[in-house]
Amino acid sequence: MKKSDPIVMACMLLAACGKATPADTVNSLVAHPDHLREVEKQCADDYAKMGSAECNNASEARHRLFMGNGPQYTPPKDQPKF
C-alpha cells in the first residue's frame, strides 16, 4: 500500500458525504403551498445554493397545483373544418 492510498480513501469518503437528496418532495410541497412559496423564492434568489433537484421539485409542485392531476389534453383526431 502506498502512502497516498489513505489520503485518496479519505478524499473519496468526504466526497461521498455530499449534499443528499432534497428534503422536500413534490407531494410535500403540494400539501404545503406556503412552504412551496418559500422554496420558490429561495430558488429565485440563489439557485446555485438551493440546487437543481430542490428547485425542480418546487417547479413540478407548482405545475401540479396549477394544472391539477387531471387527464392530459389530447387533440381531436379529425381536422377542424373552417
> Does residue 77 sit within a domain?
no
**In the predicted model, is pLDDT for residue 16 greater than 70?**
no
Q: How many domains in the chain?
A: 1
DSSP 60: H
- Assess if residue 1 is contained within a domain: no
b/e per residue 51-64 (b: at least 16 CB within 10 A): eeebbebbbebbee
- Residue 25, domain member (yes or no): yes
pLDDT tens digits for 17-73? 655 555 789 999 999 999 999 999 999 999 999 889 999 999 999 999 988 776 677
In a domain, 34, yes or no: yes
- More confident of the two residues 8 and 63: 63
Per the structure block, which three cell numbers stand in for 74?
A: 389530447
* Closest by Cα among 36, 35, 34 to 61: 36
Q: Is residue 9 part of a domain?
A: no
Residue 13 lies in a domain: no
Chain center to CA of 18:
16
Instruction: List the domain range (segments joined by +) for residue 35.
Output: 19-66
